Structure 1
Amino acid sequence: MKIPIIPVIALAAITFAIYHVMTSQGPVSQAEPPIEPARSPYASKLAGAGIVESRTENIEIAADVSGVVSELLISEGQTIDAGQLLLKLDARDVEADLKIHEASLQNVMAQYQRLERMPRAEEVPPAKADVTEAEAEVRQTKDAYERQQKLNREKIGTDEELVTARSQLEVAQAKLEKAQADYQLVIAGTWQQDLLVTESQVQQMRAEIQKTQTELERHEVRAPTSGFLSVNNETKSVWEVLQINRRPGEYVGTPPGEAIVILADAGQRRIRVDIDEHDLPRFEPNQPAIAFPRGDGKTSYPLSFVRVEPYVVPKRSLTGDNADRVDTRVLQVIYEFENSNSRIYVGQQMDVFIDLSEKNKK
């Protein structure tokens, strides 16, 4: 009898497959997570995602005018004082205008001082000499006129000669009056109205210089002043440079497409925690809280409550969880790190747990 080969092979293959499946299956081992997740130390808790920020939040520095960055005076991570110069924009045209206005002011000031010191000592003797000369000429022409009158009475001179002598006397008298008026003008000094006009020109040029200096200062980008931040009645005057988005040679517009420099308070860091709207009935301010950095479930930072921003907003800080919803609304609560260090960075995301044990006991 002939044995069918194909069915036998098929039966053997099925038998081997069943045996392999039965023998290869074993208990599935639990894989260890590559990074230990943060675990709440509280028996009753409320969890939320937080973003580290400074006490002033991020200060996006802008320029008053547009231009090209000519000099950068800071670097990322540097701490700077209030009002410190951050960068300069190209202001060669304004500097040239300033020099022109300063030269014009010097010119007008010189004119004012010249008018104020009038008359010059050297101008008085020539004016007085002109008067003396005119008086002598009057005496001479008057004597000639009187002689001509005498000759006419004696029928020796002509009427034409008499008229000429009288005209010369009148001219000499007019010259004397002019010389005397010029002398009085010289010794009187500068007319007060001329001084007022020149003084107004001086004030105008000073105003032009002040305006140009202000325009020059607008080409300098500086840190905010110390009065900008006051925490616990303490005026803060130190800033930290978080980011620089413009380098020498790059153009700065108004308004800029992005912040030129981002500054933040260099003091204690804070964290902005998003409390899901579904968890709001369980939330209680002033409760203890703790933060864990992402990727480090063993390091924790105690938090102290600062304030609640009483406005529920759409959630923007996503955790990456599959259950994260973009249409969720959250309440933002601000906490401050009690012992923050240099390893906490602005913009860093952390897991935050709020203790509800005390609330449950009540």
Structure 2
Amino acid sequence: MKLDRPSPAILLLVGLAAVSSTMSGRAEQALSSSTKLVSQHRVAAAPGVVEPNSKEREISAQIVGVIKEFKVDENDEVTAGQVIAVIDNAEQSARVASAQAQLALRQAELDRILHGARAEELREAEAALSEADAGLKYARRDYERRQPLAKRGVSPQAMLDQAKANLDASEARRTVAAQRLAQLQTGARSEDVDAARARLRLADAELASAKAIFDKTFIRSPVAGTVLRRTHEVGETVTNVPPTTVAIVGDLRGLKVRAEVDETDIGKVTPDQRVEVVSDAYPGRKFQGRVSWVSSRMGSKIVQTGRPGDRIDTKVLQVLVDLDDEAKLPVGLRVDAYLFGELVAAKPSR
């Protein structure tokens, strides 16, 4: 039986399929040989210390005194500006009261000068002038009456001298009374007003100073956080030279590790790098974090691990690591921080 030959179209399709299969196999082989495996491994280790989210703040006294009261205990949460302790302030309180009274007095003096004399003061001044006029009139008549008596020898010279002295004194009293009345009628001079205003400003400044000193008797926390430690107790004396630390406050809402990377490993540190933190106090546990800050300056080693091979003369680079929220560690705990980097390797061919 005679078989029909395949048509040219079918032969073409079969050839294309064979070529496509060959090229696909070669491409898969090339892709398989070029595929890389990426993994992370420890690239550096650094000793460190656990810190609060913000640096520990030492809250100190600003004046000399005796602690009267503590408003907080250790582990209490505080807000920024909250009073944590009070220094005995009876003397400072009295100074504020005195300064307030002085300010009120100076204000009253200025008001009297600006508003002029009251009707009662004018009537009092007019009465004083009338009294001085009457006294002067009597003293003049007495002096004039004794003059001829003294010339004739009927009255001693001493009596005449006394009459003259009384006349001079009466004239002086009349002059003072007249000036007082004139001053009340014409009002204060501009220089008197300026002087009164200057005294008022001085009293106001003294009150502000007294209040500022009084406010320093209240020791406040400059930041929100947790009272990590109270370093003094009620009844103990504190001073501002040098400043006496009363309490230590830190923000524990987030923890950091301040790690010290050896100078030989600083090229392996990058921001946002993955970090694993371990501590002898928590065997078998690993705490995760990320590099949030890298210092731009080398420094001396501060963290001492106490290990026999620990070098203390090496230069280090400080790095801050933000720990995950799940990490609950005490502030000041010594830890080891392991920095992770990527390891790239070729995937073996099939």
**Category of TM-score, reference length = shorter chain:** 0.5 to 0.7
Structure 2: distance between partners of 1:344 and 1:256: 32
Amino acid at match of 1:345: P
The aligned residue for residue 234 of structure 2 is: 248
Give the aligned partner of residue 331 of structure 1: 317
Matched to 1:82, the amino acid is: A
Q: Does 1:99 align with 2:97?
A: yes
The answer to whether structure 1 residue 344 and structure 2 residue 344 are counterparts is no
Deviation per CA, 1:219-271, whole angstroms, max 9, x where unpaired? 322122xxxxxxxxxxxx62221111111111223344763221222431111
Q: In structure 2, how many angstroms separate the alpha carbons of the residues matched to 1:122 and 1:287?
A: 86
CA distance in structure 2 between the partners assigned to 1:182 and 1:258 by the alignment: 59
Structure-1 separation of matches of 2:340 and 2:311: 25
Supply the AA of the counterpart residue of 1:186. L
Cα pair 1:269 1:340 within 8 Å, conserved: no
Q: Is this contact kept in 1: 2:60–2:247, CA < 8 A?
A: yes
Deviation by residue 1:277-331 (Cα, 9 ceiling, x = unmatched): 3333544543311112323233222101101113333323222322222223322
Deviates more, 1:41-50 or 1:210-219: 41-50
For each residue in 1:191-226, what CA deviation from the matched residue of structure 2 results, as whole angstroms up to 9, or x when unmatched? 4433332222121111111111112222322122xx
Change in 2 beyond 3 A, CA 1:54/1:182: closer
Per the alignment, residue 65 of structure 2 pairs with 67
TM-score calculated relative to the size of structure 1 = 0.64
1:312 paired residue number? 298
Q: For the Cα contact (< 8 Å) 1:61–1:259, is it kept in 2?
A: yes
**How many corresponding residue pairs?**
273
- What is the aligned partner in structure 1 of residue 87 from structure 2? 89
SS at match of 2:245: coil
In the alignment, the residues of structure 1 paired with residue 318 and residue 126 of structure 2 have an alpha-carbon distance, to the nearest angstrom, of 91
- Whether 1:46 and 2:31 are equivalent positions in the alignment is no
Matches within 5 A, 1:27-176: 43-125=41-123
Of stretches 68-77 and 85-94 in structure 1, the one that deviates more from structure 2 is: 85-94
1:214 aligns with 2:199: no
Letter in 2 for 1:352: A
What is the distance in 2 between the residues matched to 1:182 and 1:305?
Answer: 83
Moved more, 74-83 or 317-326: 317-326
Q: What's 2:196 paired with?
A: 198
Give 5+ residue unaligned stretches, structure 2: 1-38, 138-170
Q: Is the 8 A contact 1:303 1:336 kept in 2?
A: yes
Cα deviation per residue 1:110-164 (whole Å; 9 max; x = unaligned)? 3333333432213445666768x98xxx9xxxxxxxxxxxxxxxxxxxxxxxxxx
Residues 105 and 298 of structure 1, relative CA distance in 2, 3 Å threshold: same
SS of 2:200's equivalent in the other structure is: helix
State the TM-score, normalizing by the size of structure 2: 0.66
Native 8 Å contact 1:268 1:340 kept in 2: no
Q: Given the superposition, is the C-alpha separation of residues 127 and 96 from structure 1 closer, same or farther in structure 2, using an over 3 Å criterion?
A: closer
Q: Give the conservation status (yes or no) of the 8 Å contact 1:119–1:188.
A: no
Aligned partners of 1:180, 1:279: CA distance in 2, in Å? 96
Q: Give the secondary structure class of the aligned counterpart of 1:197.
A: helix
Q: Give the stretch that moved more between structures: 205-214 or 326-335.
A: 326-335
Aligned partner of 1:79: which letter?
A: E
Aligned residues: CA RMSD: 3.5
**Aligned to 2:250, which of 244, 264, 268?**
264
Structure 1 residues 299 and 98, CA gap change in structure 2 (3 angstroms): same
Distance 1:351 1:110, change over 3 A: same
Q: CA deviation at 1:107?
A: 2.6
Residues 117 and 296 of structure 1: CA distance in aligned 2, closer, same or farther (over 3 Å): same
Closer/same/farther in 2, CA of residues 361 and 189 from structure 1, 3 Å limit: farther
Matching residue of 2:273: 287
Say whether the 8 Å CA contact 1:245–1:258 is kept in structure 2.
Answer: no
SS of match in other structure, 1:199:
helix
Identity %: 24
Matched residue SS, 2:337? strand
Cα distance, 1:183–1:218 mapped onto 2, change above 3 Å: closer
